[in-house]
C-alpha cells in the first residue's frame, strides 16, 4: 500500500479571503494540491519541502503590479530582474506591455520598479511609452549587464515591429545614480523589411574578456543572405561609450523563423570554466530526417569572442516538441564549478499530449555535455510545461542552484497555470518539486506566462519570485505581475 503524508495549510497573510489547501505527498514522489475552501479569487503561494522529508511551507502575500488594464493589454508578457540600475544597493525590475495603447495602437510600454528595503512599490518609478503605431515597444526585455562598465546595471528592450515595414529596433538604457534615463543611450535597427529585429534580446555577459558586458539580438525573420529565410543572431560588444550600431558578430540560423514571442536566446554563464561568458540559442524548428526535433546551439566565448559557427549543437529526441523554444542559463545546479543550461520543449508529448518537458545540460571543461543530462516531463495534458523558465539562485540554502519552471496552461489547457520550483543537487538531478506556486481558482488565470527570479528586490537574504499572470482577478480583472518577496525554505 502506498504511504502518504497529508498536511492542511492556511495562508494567514492574504489580501482578501482565507485560502485553505490540503497537500498530499506520497513516498513514490507524487504531489497533490487540493483547494478545500476559498471565498474569493485570492491566490495562495505554497512551497513544500523535499517529499521524503518533513513538509515545510512559506506563506507570502504578493505585491500586485498592474498597468491601466486597457483592452488588449498584455502587461507582464515580458519581465526581467535587471540588477541595480541606480546604485542604491537594491535589485530592480522591468515589466513590459508591448500592446499598450497609451500613445496609439500597440505602441507598447515598459515600466521600471526600483527595489528598496520594503521591496518594489506598486507604482512604476520609470516608464517609457513607445511612439510608433504598432511598433510593439517592449516585445522583449532583458538585463543587459553593465555594458559600459560604469557600475550601474543597464536594460535592453526590443521593439520588434518598429519602422515603416517592421524592420524592428532594439534600445539600450544605461543606469545611473538617478536610475534609467527616459531616452535610450543606444539604438540599433533592423536592415530588412519584416525582419522583426528585436524579437528576442539577451544580456550575455562578457564574451571576449574586455571588461564590458555584451548583448545579443534575434530577428523573427531574416531573408539575407538566403532567400529561404531564418533567424539572424547579432552580438554587439560593450564599450566605455556605446556599442557599435552594426553587429560585431552574427550568425544565421536557417532552421527557425518566429512570428511569436519566444525566449530562445540567453546568456549561458561560463559552461566551460574558461573565464569567458557563453551563449545558447534555441532552434525549435530544426528538422532532421523529416522530423522537427528542435535543437540548441552553444557558442563559447574567447579572447576574440565567438567563432563563426556553434561550438556544439544538440537536437531534441521527440518530434514536434519545439525543443529549444525557451532556453536559459541555469547557474551551477550540481556545484561542480561549471555553469549549466536548461532547455524547454513545451509541446513535448509522451502519452499526455503537449505536456511539455525540460532538460538540463551540464557544463564541463569542454563545454556542455549530453552525458548524464537531466530531463523532466510534466505528465499533465496540455500544460505547456517549460515555455518559461528562470534560475532561482539557492532558495533552500543547500549550496546548489535551483530553478523555476512555468506551465501556464496547466491543467489540460485550462489556463490556471502553475510555476514549479525544482532544486539542484550534488548529482545534478533536480529534485522533486520543492514547491508549486500558483493559482487554482479560475480557468483563465494563465499563471506563469512570464517568470523572473533571483536575488531579492528588498536586499534581504531570500529570493524573490516574480510571476506574470495573463488574467488575475482580485476585484479588478486583467493581466498582472505578482512579486513574492524574500522567499526561502
Mean pLDDT by 10 residues, the chain (489 residues): 33 27 31 28 29 35 81 91 96 95 92 94 96 95 98 98 95 98 96 93 98 96 61 96 97 77 89 98 92 95 98 94 95 94 95 93 92 83 91 84 87 77 80 50 63 78 84 78 80
Q: Which cell numbers in the block locate residue 21?
A: 489547501
Residue positions counted in the chain: 489
pTM of the entire structure? 0.86
pLDDT of residue 28: 31
The domain made up of 72-204+232-259 has a fold known as: Methylamine Dehydrogenase; Chain H (2.130.10)
Measured CA to CA in angstroms, residue 149 lies from 94, 206, 247, 376, 396 at distances of 20, 11, 19, 39, 32
pLDDT of residue 311: 97
Distance CA 83, CA 447 (A): 24
pLDDT of residue 57: 35
pLDDT of residue 328: 96
pLDDT of residue 11: 28
pLDDT of residue 223: 61
Residues in contact with 333: Cβ distance below 8 Å, sequence separation at least 6, in sequence order: 340, 360, 362, 400, 401, 402, 403, 424, 425, 428, 430
Residues in contact with 71: Cβ distance below 8 Å, sequence separation at least 6, in sequence order: none
Place of cell 504578493: 62
pLDDT of residue 354: 94
Largest CA distance in the chain: 67
Distance CA 353, CA 379 (A): 9
> Are 326 and 316 within 8 A, CB to CB?
no
Q: How many CB atoms lie within 10 A of CB 151?
A: 11
479 alpha carbon, distance to own chain's centre: 17
Distance CA 462, CA 82 (A): 17
In DSSP terms, which residues pair with 21 in a beta bridge?
9, 35
Amino acid at each position: 500500500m502506498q504511504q502518504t503524508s497529508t498536511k492542511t495549510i492556511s495562508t494567514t497573510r492574504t489580501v482578501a479571503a482565507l485560502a485553505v489547501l490540503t497537500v498530499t505527498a506520497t513516498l513514490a514522489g507524487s504531489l497533490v494540491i487540493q483547494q478545500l475552501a476559498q471565498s474569493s479569487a485570492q491566490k495562495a503561494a505554497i512551497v513544500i519541502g523535499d517529499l521524503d522529508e518533513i513538509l515545510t511551507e512559506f506563506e507570502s502575500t504578493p505585491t500586485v503590479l498592474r498597468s491601466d488594464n486597457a483592452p488588449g493589454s498584455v502587461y507582464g508578457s515580458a519581465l526581467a530582474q535587471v540588477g541595480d540600475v541606480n546604485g542604491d544597493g537594491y535589485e530592480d525590475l522591468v515589466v513590459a506591455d508591448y500592446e499598450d495603447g497609451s500613445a496609439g495602437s500597440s505602441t507598447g510600454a515598459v515600466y521600471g520598479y526600483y527595489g528598496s528595503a520594503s521591496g518594489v512599490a506598486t507604482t512604476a518609478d520609470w516608464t517609457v511609452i513607445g511612439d510608433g503605431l504598432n511598433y510593439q515597444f517592449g516585445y522583449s526585455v532583458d538585463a543587459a549587464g553593465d555594458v559600459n562598465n560604469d557600475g550601474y546595471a543597464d536594460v535592453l528592450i526590443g521593439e520588434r515591429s518598429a519602422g515603416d515595414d517592421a524592420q524592428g529596433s532594439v534600445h539600450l538604457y544605461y543606469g545611473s545614480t538617478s536610475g534609467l534615463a527616459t531616452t535610450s543611450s543606444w539604438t540599433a535597427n533592423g536592415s530588412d523589411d519584416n525582419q522583426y529585429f528585436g524579437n528576442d534580446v539577451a544580456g550575455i555577459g562578457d564574451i571576449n574578456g574586455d571588461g564590458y558586458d555584451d548583448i545579443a539580438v534575434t530577428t523573427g525573420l531574416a531573408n539575407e543572405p538566403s532567400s529561404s529565410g531564418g533567424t539572424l543572431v547579432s552580438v554587439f560588444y560593450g564599450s566605455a561609450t556605446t556599442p557599435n550600431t552594426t553587429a560585431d558578430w552574427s550568425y544565421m540560423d536557417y532552421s527557425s523563423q518566429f512570428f511569436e514571442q519566444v525566449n530562445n536566446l540567453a546568456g549561458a554563464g561560463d559552461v566551460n570554466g574558461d573565464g569567458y561568458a557563453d551563449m545558447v540559442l534555441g532552434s525549435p524548428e530544426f528538422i532532421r530526417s523529416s522530423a522537427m526535433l528542435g535543437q540548441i546551439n552553444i557558442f563559447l566565448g574567447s579572447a576574440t569572442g565567438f567563432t563563426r559557427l556553434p561550438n556544439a549543437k544538440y537536437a531534441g529526441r521527440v518530434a514536434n516538441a519545439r525543443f529549444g523554444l525557451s532556453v536559459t542559463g541555469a547557474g551551477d545546479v550540481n556545484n561542480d564549478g561549471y555553469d549549466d543550461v536548461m532547455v524547454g520543449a513545451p509541446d513535448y508529448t509522451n502519452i499526455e499530449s503537449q505536456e511539455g518537458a525540460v532538460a538540463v545540460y551540464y557544463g564541463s571543461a569542454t563545454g556542455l555535455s549530453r552525458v548524464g543530462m537531466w530531463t523532466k516531463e510534466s505528465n499533465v495534458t496540455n500544460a505547456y510545461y517549460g515555455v518559461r523558465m528562470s534560475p532561482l539562485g539557492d532558495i533552500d540554502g543547500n549550496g546548489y542552484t535551483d530553478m523555476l519552471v512555468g506551465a501556464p496552461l496547466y491543467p489540460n489547457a485550462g489556463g490556471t497555470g502553475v510555476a514549479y520550483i525544482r532544486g539542484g543537487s550534488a548529482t545534478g538531478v533536480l529534485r522533486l518539486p520543492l514547491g508549486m506556486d500558483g493559482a487554482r481558482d479560475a480557468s483563465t488565470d494563465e499563471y506563469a506566462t512570464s517568470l523572473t527570479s533571483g536575488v531579492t528586490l528588498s536586499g534581504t537574504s531570500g529570493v524573490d519570485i516574480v510571476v506574470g499572470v495573463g488574467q488575475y482577478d482580485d476585484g479588478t480583472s486583467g493581466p498582472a505581475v505578482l512579486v513574492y518577496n524574500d522567499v526561502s525554505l
